[in-house]
Structures are given as structure tokens and as C-alpha cells.
Amino acid sequence: MTGSAARVIIGFDGSPAASAAIEVGARLFPGARAWIAHLWEPPFASETLRRRLWSGTANVDEYVDAIEREGAREAERVAGVGVTLAEAAGLRAEALVERGYGGDGVQFAQLAEKVDAEVVVVGSRGLGGTRAVLGSVSDMVVHYAQRPVLVVPHPLLAAESAALAAGPVVTGWDGSAYAEAALAAAGALFGDREIEPVAVDERPGGDLEAGGRAVTVLQHDGMLPRSHRAVAAMLSAHARTRHAAVLAVGSRGRSAVEEILLGSVAMATLHHAHRPVLIVHRHGETGA
């Protein structure tokens, strides 16, 4: 489904990367119904506010209650800012605020199931390598979400932003069930755009098809190892050449630890592509 029929959940923590995720989500899914999700954990308040609360309470229990109360109030305010941004961008938005318990990526993926979202949108602060896998909530959402996850890098350059309006969707293709899932998700979410399956191979391109679409074959020169990073770099370079709005890839659903040790085309693409990346698991499979 595209446009106003889309159901989107967007993570928002008040950061510039999260604001960018709302902007990109609105441009790719204009008029969509959107949940602006904000998870918070105490001690949410600043050190100055915590000192004020402590000086005004009689005991620890009362202090903890005050922290919870003020944290929830601030969380609602932050989510409200996100809703305002989303509505200004043309989305039909509502806030979704929940108390977090340290597993934000997992909990956010569960919220996507709760509201039956068709796509999850999260911002990325542009960290690279294993640091991103270990430290980024967006990476954990990618691992655990059963729904397609659109990761929006921040910042986007002018050309990358301009491509959002009408650029094609490039999808990685290797003939696997995971690639088929990515192609199907791209068709469902972006059916009004050109969708181009792209394969990386050492052999010259033949007359390959995927889902009734001709497959573009990028020839790997064979001089360097055909690693996950090499494939991701070639897909990303092609997406840049095509002025693609989105690069979509399937994920084999490895665990987070395995991704750190082994890597994958999906995770490598997240760290190479300077444009929104759609990560799709096979239906019913997650990285859990």
C-alpha cells in the first residue's frame, strides 16, 4: 500500500535524526497514518531538576514518584513535538508514549506489532561499523522487528533529499527467499514508483527476472573478495547513480551477535548507503 493507505510507526526522541525520520517518512508515505512513538526511562529529568525534586521531597519513595511523574510529563511533551512536526509534514499523526525498560529496540519492535504498522521508520545518527550495531537503537529495531524497517540516515545531502520526491526504489537481488521478501515489500510500500532489482555477480548479466521485473546485474570484477561489504558498496553506489529514493535489502535474520562477528549485506548496506534503507525479514522471521 502507498500514500494515505500506509500505516507507519516512527521513532522519535527529539533528536535531529528523529526529526529527519519524520520528514522522510512524510515524503515517502504522504498522508499516511502515523504513530509517533517515544519510549522513556527515568531518571529522565536533568540533574538540576532532580536536585530540585530531591530537595522538595521527604523520603526516597516520594522522590522516586516525583521522578516518574516529571519523566512521564516530559515524555508526553517530547512526543507532542513529534506529532506537531508530523502533522505539519502532512501525516495523520498521534502520539504513542510508553515507559521503557532498557530494551528500546525490542520494545519498539513490539509496538509496531501492537499498532499493526506496515513499516517502521527510525532515524540513524550515522555511526559506522560494530559501534553502530552495539550502540544504535535503530540497529536493534532492525534485528527484532517483524515488519519492514526503514532506516533514515542523518543528515541527507541535497541530492539525496531531492531523490525522495520521485526517485526509484533499488532492491538487492540474489534469487533467495529473503530477496523475494524485500522485493515484495518494496512493491507493497512503493508500488507507484519504479522498482529495480539489482544483483551483484562476477558473470556478465543475462536476461534475469524478479517478480516480473528485469534484473540489473552489476558485474563484480573478482579482483577483491566478494564480501558483504563489497556487495553493499556496489548496491549503494548503483543507488546513488540512479538517484534512488530508497535502497531495499532482505535480511537473513541472524542474531545480533552473529551480525557483529559475521556481518551481512543488509547490515553492511546500512553503513554504506547514504539514503533511506529498507530492511525486510522473511515473513515471521526476526533476528531474535
Give 223-242 pLDDT, tens digit per residue: 455 678 888 999 999 999 99
Rounded mean pLDDT of 39-45?
67
DSSP letter string, 196-218: EEEEEESSPP---EETTEEPEEE
Biggest CA–CA distance in the chain, Å, is 76
Q: Which residues contact 281 (CB under 8 A, 6 or more apart)?
A: 145, 146, 178, 181, 250, 251, 253, 287
H helices of 29-176, in order, are 47-55, 60-88, 104-114, 129-135, 137-144, 158-162
Query: Could you give all domains of the chain from N- to C-terminal order, each with its CATH number?
Result: 1-155 (3.40.50.620), 158-288 (3.40.50.620)
* The pLDDT value given to residue 3: 44
State pLDDT tens for residues 15-36. 899 999 999 999 999 999 999 9
**SS3 at position 133:** helix
* The pLDDT value given to residue 149: 93
> Of 253 and 7, which is predicted with more confidence?
7
Does an H or E element contain 178, and which?
helix 177-189
Instruction: Among 25-39, 48-62, 68-82, name the one with the lowest average pLDDT.
Output: 48-62
Calculate the alpha carbon distances from 185 to 49, 151, 247, 275 in Å: 46, 15, 12, 18
pLDDT grade, residue 4 (50/70/90)?
very low
pLDDT grade, residue 134 (50/70/90)?
very low
d(CA 37, CA 45): 19
**SS3 at position 71:** helix
